Amino acid sequence: MAHQYTRLFNTNDLQQLYAALETAEYGAYFTTPTRDVRRFGIDATAIATTAAALSGPVIFGAQAFDHQLYPASQLMRGFWFVPKVVVTITGETITFVSDEVSDFDAWLARFQPVSGQVVDDMAITDETDWVDRTANLIDTLAIDQHLDKVVFGRQQQHQLSDHLYLAQLIGALGEQDNTYHVVLKRQAELFISATPERLVKLSAGKLATAAVAGTSRRGRKKAEDEALEVALLASEKNRVEHQYVVDSLAERLQHVTSELHIPTTPQLLKNKQVQHLYTPITGQLVDNMSLTAVVTSLHPTPALGGVPREAALAYIAAHEKRPRGLFAGPVGYFTADNSGEFVVGIRSMYVNQLTHQATLFAGAGIVSDSDAQQEYDETGLKFEPMRQLLKDYNHVE
């Protein structure tokens, strides 16, 4: 890009950037679990429904989970854009990059923080037959020798009283620990995620991904939390579900890496509401392989689709009540020098700012010995980060 400017980060910058996102027709916010890097893409010089249709120094966006068209939405069918302004906050420095904006401090000064009013969660609509449909899936898995696992999705609609302001929304996201925080905006539509799951990161040819599958709730006290931790690590059902993901990632990465490092035993990844079995995987990418090609190869993992992949995807398309849109799809950014990072759009919510409706998403890995009620309870846990976000929204200072 033609213009680049770096200076010390100051406390007013974030609120002004949130205000810039609020004003922009298109935008993205992406931060890592450690909060050591925050990235903003603000406004657009070009937009598309596929990443392949664009070229530019940095591209933000998300791919829909599958081919089904999410109703009455442009964002949820896949959205990519080349930002007019890219802002990266790293440690104590802030860097602005743009082809169109040359005086970044003057540009930033145009945006003044705004505060929204209290937003009430007025009504909730759920899939009341989800347990019965999941029981049918378990019966199918018990007799179908060509289907081992299906990640079965559930959606929940929340009717809100008003528009959500991005400054308060991102502030409320800050309550979700040890997760990526992602916001994607296309006009009056938002996709928000507090996902624990990286799909792939690439920097200087070094690849990093992770298997995240097998879930338990957190305990209210330390002793209970530790007991649940031990039970999760010992759970055969969860270990089998986790190994499906590890094996699948290993198989798909063999063809795109020259080195691959996979621990033999999972560890735990703890978030505010739940904990997961977690296996970090690293490798060296082969020459002439793009990050977007790796994303295509990995998506969807068995943690989001199932095993075998095509049979599970067909079951999802036929039996889930509504298309997933960006839920469980790859969300992130990539650069012209083939670096970037994509996460999996889970623990997520879609907001239509015109209708004031928020749709929350969750899914559970179903195998032949699953219990439908327990899986329903697990999806309830997975709704909790976004339900908590809506509660915390009104208490951001």
Active site residues: 149, 197
Q: What is the DSSP string of 150-194?
A: EEEEEEEEEEESSPPPHHHHHHHHTTSTTS-EEEEEETTEEEEE-
Q: Which residues pair with 125 in a beta bridge?
A: 157
CA distances 46 to 228, 304, 373, Å, are 48, 30, 46
Q: Are the C-beta atoms of residues 15 and 114 closer than 8 Å to each other?
A: no
C-alpha 233/C-alpha 276 separation (Å) is 9
CA distances 224 to 160, 236, 238, Å, are 35, 20, 19
Q: Which amino acid is at 343?
A: V
Radius of gyration of the chain (CA): 21
CA distances 396 to 117, 192, 235, 282, 356, Å, are 11, 17, 38, 37, 20
Q: Within a 10 A sphere around the Cβ of 48, how many other Cβ atoms?
A: 16
